[in-house]
Amino acid sequence: MGINYLGKKEQRYKLVLFLLLGFNLIFKLLLLYNTNSFYVSEAKSNYNFLRAIEQGAHPALFEGGYRSVLAYIGYYLKSLTGTIDSFFWFQALLGTLSLYVLYCICLRLTDERSSALFAVLLATIFMDYHLLTPVFYYQICEIFFVLLVVYLVLMMIDDKKFMRSASILLVPVIIYLSLLFRGTLGYFAWLLIGMSLYFVLRKEYRLFARLAAAGMITMILFSMLPQGNYKNKNIVSVNDFKFYGHTLYGGNGGEGAFIYKENEIRYKKKLAEFMNEHHYDVVTVQVRNEFQSKEIKKFISRTPHKWLWLQVRKVAYTFGIVPIRDSLELLTTGKLPLKWYLSAVIIQVPYLFILLIFVILLVLFFNVADFKNAKLFFMILVLFYLLAATCLYGHYQERYRHVVILAGILPVAAFYFSRFIDRSSQKPIAHGRYILLILILAIVFAHWGYQAYNVLVIHKERYIKAVNQF
């Protein structure tokens, strides 16, 4: 009887997973065929690459600060089917497959199907993720590669002997391929080596050897086949991404453009002084990069407290209350036209709910002893790594948060959700936890409230102007 009951229960879980994944795929396709504005954000560069390839050009995989590999994929899919829609179908399928990998990660992390389904359910209501489907950009591929690497590392830690050995070789290859799409995993080899030292402290030397080997093989692979071989040597990449992320020139700090005239005037004045000091006649890309690097070093060395506060601000605003511009444009300009404020509610409410659930579970159920759980410790490292890669490395963009939520926040939330539903074996939650939760939520809501006030009252013209451009 018990065996039959467990078997039926497992079948129900599998049915729920199948229905959730099916819904995800259908919903993504519905959003695709509701879309009118395909030229959002940096997708324009991929369309330009696609046109160039169709006209017989062969752009390098790295053209300055842009990558063309997605345009090649789009070109081949369009050649096979006769329509670019096939590429977006590919994205819908890959996005749905990513949620299955997320489920596998959470199942391996918690050993609870209900907790893994909980993570997939939260991803299902994450509207911003669905709205990536009609965008000719790299984020769905980025999320898939990151989730796949995370899953393989978890397998390396505790799976069968064959998969442990296979993962040691697969992880470096997937990291290498991922960088053809996005640079998110560029320093992941160091995380693997850092994680290996964790196992030294635990005197688990076999696990140390596996993680260290994966990290070292990754580095060797990049030294043997440097991705610089795929770059157009005639184009110098601009330094703007790091410059705006580590100075106060961008908007109110950390934004990817001047925004305000006074910042641009200050920049031009200091650039002119730099040109005179070094006797430069022409502002080339190399000269701009040299000037910007000097400004970054000067800002960090002279005002380290302001630089640290800027990094905190970038994280806070990446996970703020302002809707992602691309998502807002896709909904407000679709075949089913929605007002911008209704679109903002549809986009933001599920996203804010995910963040609040994560904060509540973490504050109430985290214990220092959790660091003894190797798989959870690895997921926490992944979460901090992704936060650094998307918020701290350069200037911030709200749209960079997708990978943090899917590959970092949701797995950790699933772990603590499993603890929440297994309250019978846990001690009662101390009253101090509830007080701490109230304080943290008060800070979060105060930040969101201030950000909303800043956008809708103080700088209302700027925001309304951006919305009216759709």
pLDDT at 1: 47
What is the length of the chain? Answer: 470
For the segment 343-369, what is each residue's pLDDT rounded down to a tens digit?
999 999 999 999 999 999 999 999 999
Q: Which residue has the tokens 């963040």?
A: 355
Per-domain residue ranges for the chain?
2-235+319-426, 240-307
pTM of the entire predicted model: 0.94
Check if the beta carbon of residue 51 is closer than 8 Å to that of residue 223. no
pLDDT at 4: 61
**Average pLDDT of span 67-76:** 96
For the segment 426-439, what is each residue's pLDDT rounded down to a tens digit?
678 889 999 999 99
- Could you count the other beta carbons within 10 Å of the beta carbon of residue 4? 8
Residue 300: which pLDDT band, with cuts at 50, 70 and 90?
very high
DSSP run (H or E) holding 169: helix 161-178
Q: Using CB atoms within 10 Å of the CB of residue 152, give its burial: 0 to 12 exposed, 13 to 18 middle, 19+ buried.
A: buried
pLDDT at 264 over 80: yes
d(CA 194, CA 441): 32
d(CA 116, CA 237): 41
For the segment 29-55, what is each residue's pLDDT rounded down to a tens digit?
999 999 998 888 778 999 999 999 999
